[in-house]
Chains A and B, each alone.
Chain A
Amino acid sequence: MSVALGVTSSSERESKLECFSASPENFSTPATAAIETDGGDAVITLQCAYGAVKNSIKAYFERAGGYVIEVPFQFLVNSSEEIGNEFQMALVKGKASGRRVRLALIDHVTSMPSILLPIKKLVEVCREEGVDQVFIDGAHGVGCVDVDMQEIGADFYISNLHKWFVCPASVAFLYCRKSVTHSELHHHMVSHDYGKGLAIESCWIGTRDYSPLVVPSAVEFTNRFEGGIDGIKRRNHDSVVEKGKMLAKAWGTNLGSPPDMCASMIMVGMPAYLGVSSDDDALKLRTHLREKFSVEVPIYYRMPKHEEVAKTTTAYARVSHQVYNKVDDYYKFRDAINQLVCDGFTCARSL
């Protein structure tokens, strides 16, 4: 197993992508030939992939001549199976035109809206359908969900350790399965150890503060909890589901997915009366909650389908639970929203 530990940010995943597409020689075709190829080798990703990752795909893969297959994704989510099916269909369709799928780039837990994806199943589908390599973006991985390289079976896996593994900003790792040929992986920031393998190159990328490498200290911390990090994960999950349900009940709304597709985060519908009708409204409402109610919670705007009724839920709060949280944090949020509804607040009128 080859693990490169980096003090770079969550952009490690971008770094990995660049290693693929800026150096199409990886695929045994010279850079210029990749551009001349008709049809474009492809990357497959889901519609809900992280915005910065989509930018990275555009900046590296598409720019070099690659083609992007984006699998549509329903939110609200009813089950893992519907995601697995959409994914398989998109792959089969993509391949039908003779296209070669070089990479599948799949979140472990999506960001907004936040859903735990059935990645073991998706990796299997990729193998069945002949995708060259699979890269799981587990930005929310370690400390949030179970992360087992043998179980998951991907070629590449990235996780931040400063999100759910109590490390300070920032430290993450990129796992590269040893059995995979990836000799041309390089760190973007080329320094003295260029050519000695990504893991060594990543150890020194110029003068910077390397102290976020406190991973062993973070392990010590988690081991002070009953069940260690597994215990923490389990309790976070149970708590966040309980709180999510409490909020949905208090507001008369719904959850964004079944509880088993929530790790330590849950999407809770917000009252339609609030009139969130754009990403901008969602951001302004978030700011309003922060400044007027001291509640910090990101809000996702869900564009209604044309057939949905006017009162459909268009805003979902992504509520998290971590060991420092108290039930009062969630009551405060519940009460803030109730207050807004009571005051006749709408985004259009009040922000």
Chain B
Amino acid sequence: MACRIIMFYRYYVPHLFLRHQNIQILNPKLSFHLSKASSYHYYPTVTQTNFPIKPKLSSFITDSEIQTEFSHHDPGVARINNGSFGCSPASVTSALQQWQLNWLRQPDRFYFNELHKGILKSRNTVKDLINAEDVDEISIVDNATTAVAIVLHQMQWAFSEGRFKKGDAVITLQYAYGAVKNSIKAYFERAGGYVIEVPFQFPVNSSEEIVNEFRMALVKEKASGRRVRLALIDHVTSMPSVLLPVKKLVEVCREEGVDQVFIDGAHGVGCVDVDMQEIGADFYTSNLHKWFFCPASVAFLYCRKSVTHSELHHPMVSHDYGKGLAIESCWIGTRDYSPSLVVPSAVEFTNRFEGGIDGIKRRNHDAVVEMGQMLAKAWGTNLGSPPDMCPSMIMVGMPACLGVSSDDDALKLRTHLREKFGVEVPIYYRMPKHEEVATATTAYARVSHQVYNKVDDYYKFRDAINQLVCDGFTCARSL
């Protein structure tokens, strides 16, 4: 009996020291480990007493350390919107501040001796992260918005210099990011280009339906003799958020003779697998401040070396004009370059987690799917896509009785949730098709999961909506 008691304590007591394990004990229904960072490794060995030896702690980041890293987050807010502005842990912002201080201390010396080396290091880090062949393919830019402007700007010149003719097309999908659509309008359409917008259903049933729509649109345009100069495709769409089958879409583009393919992976690195050899696109951009723990803002534009893109230039022309985009991007005038310099620090941070960034992605995905299903069940609604089309974000239908009937309603409801309930989550308004019944789901919350999230964040959201439903809240009447 004494032996059994001792065995009990040796086995269970260590669990009680780790909060994440507590969650497992208290909420047995949860099947994933929230922010599981540490691993317990039991090494049953035959000892004289046949007791299992003490658990050996690994050196992964602990739950408490994670909370400390993000202690600057507003504690009163259920922050389930990592997708919009990302996050940056204290250890990375501390590295940022160090770079800033170095600049402030002696900017000339910093400029001549440290800046270019630091950016090259970041570029090499990105090259390794995304399995690019050559560091020359990597240009550091502010954000995906900048990357899109760079590529489309080149196309504007192609029109004005006669390499493209009026009516040459860009193909994009219906849920392309609004700012990207504006950029296409500002550069491509304005210069005489034609825009093919491929419709796609939301909610989404499968990747195949997207690929089929895409191919049909391409084939149709080709039949009319139109030349498709560029396909601009999200890796993960923003609103509504869906993981697109980019590898397949790139293949379709190649089969159907699209000149160049540009994948907008704004949500790419840290959210989904990003491998340049796998994906096969000519251009790829990803923010590193959304899902890769860098502070605002740093992103990259990858340009496949084998592609002829000698005329790519940064719109901010400075001293290194003409030396290639990667070099031009290293200096675009005086500014704070420190976000570009902390990419290696972000890698260090992710490596403190079990499985590194891959482990983080996997756990985020599992957690967000579980939370999405929990919410949909609690509200009697549905998810916006199959779980395999949700990386670290998921679209969860909101109760129809809330009466969201416009983009404006969606925004106001979001504001209401922020101000009255301390819940931060973007809401997407889905216009019902005319044949749909009056109680169709018209609002979907885009719920994110990142390492700092707790299950209580999602319970808070669940309860807020349940409260609104209970109170008879409708957008028309209450906002």
Contacts and interface: CB of A to CB of B under 8 A. Distances in A.
A185 interface: no
Most buried by B among A7, A162, A188, A212: A188
Interface in B98-112: 103-104, 106-109, 112
Contacts of B279: none
Nearest to B161: A35
Contact of B156 (A15, A22, A191, A296): A22
A188 B145 CA distance: 10
Interface in B187-234: 187, 190-191
A32 interface: yes
Nearest to A53: B317
Interface string A194-208: 110000000001111
B109 A296 contact: yes
Contacts of B149: 188-190
Given A190-B179, A206-B179, A169 B318 contact: no
Interface stretch (A56-64, A73-81, A102-110, A304-312): A56-64
Contacts of B146: 189, 205-206
Contact of B336 (A35, A169, A195): A169
Contacts of A64: 160
Nearest to A10: B333
Contacts of A168: 104, 336
Identify the 6 closest CB pairs spanning chains A and B, nearest first: A9-B333, A206-B145, A11-B333, A11-B316, A188-B315, A208-B297
A212 B336 contact: yes
Nearest to A23: B190
B108 A191 contact: no
Interface of B: 85-86, 103-104, 106-109, 112, 142-146, 148-149, 153, 156-157, 159-162, 178-179, 182-183, 185-187, 190-191, 287, 289-290, 295-297, 313, 315-319, 321-322, 332-336, 339
Contacts of A9: 316, 332-335
Nearest to A297: B108
Nearest to B144: A206
A168 B295 CA distance: 17
Contact of B318 (A7, A55, A212, A290): A55
A209 B183 CA distance: 21
A205 B145 contact: yes
A52 interface: yes
B317 A11 contact: yes
A10 B336 CA distance: 12
B332 A206 contact: no
Given A192-B182, A206-B179, A208-B296, A52 B319 contact: yes
B270 to A, nearest CB: 15
Contacts of B332: 9, 11
Nearest to A291: B109
A246 interface: no
Contact of B296 (A10, A18, A52, A207): A207
A319 B117 CA distance: 28
Contacts of B317: 11, 14, 18, 52, 55-56, 59-60
Given A14-B316, A15-B316, A190 B297 contact: no
Interface of A: 7-11, 14-15, 18, 22-23, 31-32, 35, 51-52, 55-56, 58-60, 63-64, 160, 162-163, 168-170, 186, 188-192, 194-195, 205-209, 212, 287, 290, 296, 298
A209 B156 contact: no
Given A11-B318, A59-B321, A188-B149, A162 B297 contact: no
Contact of B108 (A51, A162, A206, A290): A290
Contact of B333 (A23, A52, A59, A209): A52
Contacts of A23: 190
21 contacts: A9-B335, A15-B316, A18-B317, A32-B160, A32-B162, A51-B319, A52-B317, A55-B317, A55-B318, A64-B160, A163-B334, A169-B335, A189-B145, A189-B146, A190-B149, A206-B143, A206-B297, A207-B287, A208-B143, A296-B108, A298-B108
Nearest to A168: B336
Contacts of A207: 85-86, 143, 145, 287, 289-290, 296-297
B460 to A, nearest CB: 25
A52 to B, nearest CB: 4
Contacts of B296: 207-209
Contacts of B186: 186, 190, 194
B11 to A, nearest CB: 47
A208 B185 CA distance: 23
A202 B297 CA distance: 16
A35 B316 contact: no
Contacts of B107: 169
Most buried by B among A190, A209, A296: A190
B142 A208 contact: yes
Contacts of A170: 333-336
Contacts of B179: 190-192, 194, 206
B109 A194 contact: no
Contact of A8 (B295, B297, B316): B316
Contacts of A22: 153, 156-157
Nearest to B106: A296
A10 B334 contact: yes
Given A8-B333, A52-B333, A35 B182 contact: no
A313 to B, nearest CB: 23
A207 B297 CA distance: 6
Contacts of A189: 142, 145-146, 149, 315
Contacts of A31: 159-160, 191
A170 B333 CA distance: 9
Nearest to B290: A207
Nearest to A35: B160
B191 to A, nearest CB: 7
Contacts of A206: 142-146, 179, 297
Contacts of B144: 206
A9 B161 CA distance: 29
A147 B279 CA distance: 52
Contacts of A205: 142, 145-146
Contacts of B290: 207
A64 B157 CA distance: 9
B315 A8 contact: no
A11 B335 CA distance: 10
Contacts of B321: 52, 55-56, 58-59
A11 B319 CA distance: 11
A221 B103 CA distance: 21
Nearest to B316: A11
A205 B146 CA distance: 8
